[in-house]
Amino acid sequence: MVREQLAARGIVDHRVLAAMATVARHLFVPAAQQPFAYEDRPLAIGAEQTISQPYMVALMTEVLGLAGGERVLEVGTGSGYQAAVLAELGAQVYTIERLAELGIPAERRLSEFGYWDRVHVRCGDGENGWPEAAPFDAIVVTAAARRIPRALLQQLGVGGRLVLPLGEAEVQGLAKIQRGGDGWQEEYFGECRFVKLVGADGWDDG
């Protein structure tokens, strides 16, 4: 997976590649999906949600530009796979899942796999972020938004990066918004397709 799907498609950060090689993706999907865990495609994880394809996880992680030691907020825990990858990069991860039927098992799974002291899980509305843990060095949103959630921008520290799929319901652009001392910089990294963010900045119907 790492050699043929990630490195071959342009992922160059060796720390990201090492983290992706370390985290066993098949342990983060239902048993019926485990034979397909290392294929480069999304997989259903229940509750009409998916685990992103490995390349997209690697790309979003690389775009975050983590060096180790950062405080990272993840909106959309899902099965916990992305959070585990971020933790392997040395981040303290705060991850929010709207659906308790996914968030509670993800918290248990991450604890069992040894991330209990590096990943903090909350069930709730991710659009509101995690104010008491802010400011964050990086924020990653794993669901498609129509517009950038203002609360998340407010929780970024200076120099912080927000990475999210931004655009329409069917197709989005992978955006990075970076906070400078006197404004914001926006950059795009190609098209992507994610499940919809629920809420004022996403879609009220999911």
The domain that holds 68 is classified in CATH as: 3.40.50.150
Tell whether 108 is covered by a domain.
Answer: yes
**What is the rounded distance in angstroms from the CA atom of residue 87 to the CA atom of residue 68?**
9
Question: What are the tens digits of pLDDT across the range 51-103?
Answer: 999 999 999 999 999 999 999 999 999 999 999 999 999 999 999 999 999 99
Tell whether 206 is covered by a domain.
Answer: no
pLDDT at 204 over 80: no
pLDDT at 206 over 60: no
Report pLDDT for 200: 87
Q: How confident is the model at residue 199 (pLDDT cuts 50, 70, 90)?
A: confident
Tell whether 146 is covered by a domain.
Answer: yes
Tell whether 8 is covered by a domain.
Answer: no
The mean per-residue pLDDT over the stretch 108-128 comes to 97
For residue 14, give the DSSP letter. H
Report pLDDT for 168: 92
Neighbours of 148 (CB within 10 A): 17
Number of structural domains (the chain) is 1
Angle (CA) 33-35-41 rounded to 5° is 65
Question: What are the tens digits of pLDDT across the range 152-178?
Answer: 999 999 999 999 999 998 899 999 999
Contact 47, 101 (CB under 8 A): yes
- Which residue is catalytic, options 52, 61, 82, 142? 52
Report pLDDT for 202: 83
The domain in which residue 69 lies consists of 56-192
Report pLDDT for 29: 98
Neighbours of 78 (CB within 10 A): 26
Q: How confident is the model at residue 205 (pLDDT cuts 50, 70, 90)?
A: low
Tell whether 5 is covered by a domain.
Answer: no
Which pair of tokens denotes residue 114? 């040894």
**What is the rounded distance in angstroms from the CA atom of residue 201 to the CA atom of residue 17?**
32
Q: How far is CA 168 from CA 7, 118, 140, in A?
A: 29, 33, 18
Which pair of tokens denotes residue 125? 């509305």
pLDDT at 130 over 80: yes
Report pLDDT for 8: 97
Report pLDDT for 181: 85
More confident residue, 198 or 64: 64
Peptide bond into 135 cis (omega under 30): yes
Torsion angle of the four alpha carbons 48, 54, 56, 60, in this order, in degrees rounded to the nearest 10: 110
52 is catalytic: yes
What percent helix, strand, coil does the chain show, rounded to 5? 35, 30, 35
Contact 91, 115 (CB under 8 A): no
